[in-house]
Each structure stands twice: as structure tokens, then as C-alpha cells.
């Protein structure tokens, strides 16, 4: 394994890439907390001007899901990898805490903390690649095996399946963002549902995701916003969380604030109040005795994260995201924008060619690892084909 350093340093999550020269598998560091001052490099005036220039011909209300960004606005990672990282890249094993809770209420509280941990910082002005159809990302962390697949390209639907046979835990996640331009901001509404199953306890927790708000004017920045509801189907315990944005001009209010409550739906009694900041600490206040405790600490959970490594390059699937986009990622890291544009075009043209070939044969593309369905209301859902996700040749600590 070799470590390559970009000539001009990028923000902390992108400082280094790890590659396997034989197959050119590029794996970058996950986003983490700690060096936010570096990420401010992306908020420079010239980037804001470029962003405004990029969107000058886009009308407010437009759906940006088909909007293609030039490589200058990409960081070296696919959106599919970002989904996977939010599951396997943590400094502490929150999933085991969920499983080890001594009561349904304690398990729900741990699930709330785990859900918050999937909220990762975003950087203004850059975005991951749009995954191509059939692209996969497959990584193992200890006994946890994570597999994501791009099961639809238009609309962009991603499916994720993660299992831990030792802990008897399963995660099924179907997600599709719908980014819309609102004139002074872009809001990516994240549709879909996550299911976390604690099979030892016979409990399934269903939850949604917050939306990503990208503010362009008057002050550029990113925020996670919206309501997240987490419900245990079997126990009726519910957590209602609200991710709150800063004020319009960043005056007053708190950054990355979240509030909420935990409710017993059978009695509608509020058991706990949730309050804090998802990028620092989140506390729980007992409504019976006013006792307060910390249930989530971002510095403990999302800091010092490392890129996965390739244990066996020959066993990496040809659909692996870090392999498909490797030339583009390397070009972005070295700031070779001519090579980056060419590499991105190669991947996109290959996808268009495969589409034309399927259409000429009258074939319909079918996901390899999931069964994809859509309700009459237009809601997408996915069901994994395999009971357990196999171990991956790409691993992380």
C-alpha cells in the first residue's frame, strides 16, 4: 500500500489517499471532525463566484438530480462511498451499544446516538461523484460487513445492506436524494427509509434522514436540516429529532443544533428531552427527575478516522466504487483538471454505451444484490437478496 500526498493540501478528510498500484483502487479518508479550519479553504470567494457561475442558468425550483458537475467541484469519492462510510467509519462501536442495552428504552437511546453518528460534515462548494448504475462499495470492519449498490441511476437510488453475524444485527437502507435549486440555496431532500434490526431482541427501528441545505447567499455554508423520526415497531417507543439551521445571516442561534424528545407512543408521555449539537455533544434530560447525561460525543465517535485498506486486491469486485473512479480521484488529488475531465468522461461514456446496448437488445437492468420496488405513491424500497453480507477484501479498523 502506498500513500500519495496531493501537491496542494486539501481539507482534512481528503489529505491522503491509499492506493493499491496493481488495480488502482483509491480509498480516501472519511469526513471527520477536528480540522474544520482547513475546510474553510473551500469557502474562498473565487469558489463562491464559480458556484454562482455554475448555477447562473438554472431556474429556482429546478431538480438538480441530472445536473453534472465538472471535476473542479468534486472531491475524490463517490456518494455511494459516503453512504457506506457513515455506517462503518466510527471510532467507537455504537451498534454493539444498541444491541447491549438492558431495556427497550436504553436500546432506543443507543439507536438515537447511532442515527446521529451517520450525520457527517459537508463542505461548501464540493460534492461526491454521482454513482453509476451497478456501482458497489463493499467494506468490512471487524464482524460488520457493509455493501452498498447503486440500484437506479435516474432517479439516483442507492441501497445499503450491513450485517454483523456475531451481534446478530442487520441494517437495510434505501436512499435517494432530490436536490433542488431555490435561488440562494440548494436543498437536497433525502428520501427513503433506514431499518436497523436488533435480531436478538426481535426489534426493528425505522428512521428517515435529515436533508442537506447548501446555502449560497448571503453567507455560503452547509447545514443538515429537517425532522428525523425513529420508531421501534415492536415497543412503540419513538424519538422525534429536529435538525435546525443557522439564521439567515448567521447572527443569533446555534450552529448544527438539534432538539427532540423520546416518547412512549402508547401513553404519549414524553420520557426524555434531547438537545445538543450533532457536531459536538448531545444530551438527554429525564423528564421525571431532570437528570441530564451525554448520549453522543462527536469527538469520541467521529474523529481520527482512517481510510480503509485493501487486504486482497484480486478479490475486489470490478464494480467497486474506489476502482471505477480511481483515475478521476487520483487526478483530483493531484489537481490535474485536464486529466480529471477526461477520466470522468470515460466513466460516464461507458455508462451511456451500456445503456444504449441494453436498449438495443430490449433488456432491463436488474440490481445484483437487491430487489428494488416502487409503490404507487412513488416511494422506492429495496430488499437484500442475501441474508448476510459476505466479508470484503477491503477492510477498515
Question: What are the tens digits of pLDDT across the range 193-210?
Answer: 999 999 999 999 999 999
Pairwise CA distance, residues 48 & 56, whole Å: 12
Of 26-30, 167-171, 362-366, the range with the highest mean pLDDT is 167-171
pLDDT greater than 60 at residue 44: no
Cβ neighbours for 14, distance < 8 A, ≥ 6 positions apart? 6, 28, 29, 75, 76, 333
Share of the chain above pLDDT 90, in %: 61
Higher-confidence position of 249 and 181: 181
pLDDT greater than 60 at residue 160: yes
Higher-confidence position of 294 and 40: 294
Pairwise CA distance, residues 347 & 200, whole Å: 43
Q: What is the mean pLDDT of the chain?
A: 85
Predicted pLDDT of residue 374: 82
Burial class (CB in 10 A: 0-12, 13-18, 19+), 154: exposed
Q: How sure is the predictor about 92, in pLDDT bands with cuts at 50, 70 and 90? A: confident
Pairwise CA distance, residues 95 & 107, whole Å: 10
Contact by Cβ (8 Å): 393, 315: yes
Predicted pLDDT of residue 62: 61
pTM: 0.86
Predicted pLDDT of residue 65: 60
Predicted pLDDT of residue 54: 58
Predicted pLDDT of residue 38: 41
Mean pLDDT throughout 305-323?
94
Amino acid at each position: 500500500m502506498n500513500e500519495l500526498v496531493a501537491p496542494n493540501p486539501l481539507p482534512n478528510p481528503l489529505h491522503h489517499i491509499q492506493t493499491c498500484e496493481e488495480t488502482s483502487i483509491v480509498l480516501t479518508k472519511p469526513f471527520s471532525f477536528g480540522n474544520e479550519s482547513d475546510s474553510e479553504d473551500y469557502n474562498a470567494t473565487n469558489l463562491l463566484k464559480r458556484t454562482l457561475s455554475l448555477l447562473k442558468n438554472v431556474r429556482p425550483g429546478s431538480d438538480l438530480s441530472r445536473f453534472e458537475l465538472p471535476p473542479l467541484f468534486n472531491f475524490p469519492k463517490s456518494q455511494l462511498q459516503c453512504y457506506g462510510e457513515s455506517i462503518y467509519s466510527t471510532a467507537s462501536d455504537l451498534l454493539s451499544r444498541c444491541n447491549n442495552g438492558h431495556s427497550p428504552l436504553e436500546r432506543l437511546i443507543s439507536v438515537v446516538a447511532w442515527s446521529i453518528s451517520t450525520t457527517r460534515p459537508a463542505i461548501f462548494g464540493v460534492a461526491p461523484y454521482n454513482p453509476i448504475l451497478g456501482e458497489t462499495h463493499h467494506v468490512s470492519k471487524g464482524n460488520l460487513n457493509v455493501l452498498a449498490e447503486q440500484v437506479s441511476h435516474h432517479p439516483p437510488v442507492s441501497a445499503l445492506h450491513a450485517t454483523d453475524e456475531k451481534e446478530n444485527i442487520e441494517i437495510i437502507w434505501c436512499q435517494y436524494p432530490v436536490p433542488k435549486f431555490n435561488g440562494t440555496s440548494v436543498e437536497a431532500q433525502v428520501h427513503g427509509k433506514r431499518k436497523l434490526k436488533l435480531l436478538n431482541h426481535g426489534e426493528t427501528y425505522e428512521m428517515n434522514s435529515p436533508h442537506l441545505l447548501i446555502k449560497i447567499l448571503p453567507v455560503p455554508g452547509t447545514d443538515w436540516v429537517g425532522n428525523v423520526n425513529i420508531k421501534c415497531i415492536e415497543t412503540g417507543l419513538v424519538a422525534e429529532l429536529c435538525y435546525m439551521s443557522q439564521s439567515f445571516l448567521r447572527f443569533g442561534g446555534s450552529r448544527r443544533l438539534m432538539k427532540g424528545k423520546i416518547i412512549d407512543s402508547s401513553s404519549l408521555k414524553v420520557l426524555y428531552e434531547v438537545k445538543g449539537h450533532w457536531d459536538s455533544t448531545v444530551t438527554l434530560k429525564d423528564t421525571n427527575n431532570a437528570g441530564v447525561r451525554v448520549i453522543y460525543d462527536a469527538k469520541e465517535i467521529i474523529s481520527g478516522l482512517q481510510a480503509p485498506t485493501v487486504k486482497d486486491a484480486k478479490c475486489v469486485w470490478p464494480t467497486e466504487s474506489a476502482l471505477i473512479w480511481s483515475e478521476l480521484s487520483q487526478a483530483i488529488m493531484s489537481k490535474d483538471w485536464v486529466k480529471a475531465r477526461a477520466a470522468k468522461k470515460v466513466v460516464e461514456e461507458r455508462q451511456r454505451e451500456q445503456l444504449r446496448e441494453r436498449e438495443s437488445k430490449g433488456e432491463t437492468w436488474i440490481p445484483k444484490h437487491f430487489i428494488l420496488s416502487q409503490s404507487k405513491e412513488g416511494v422506492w424500497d429495496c430488499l437484500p437478496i442475501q441474508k448476510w453480507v459476505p466479508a470484503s477484501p477491503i477492510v477498515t479498523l
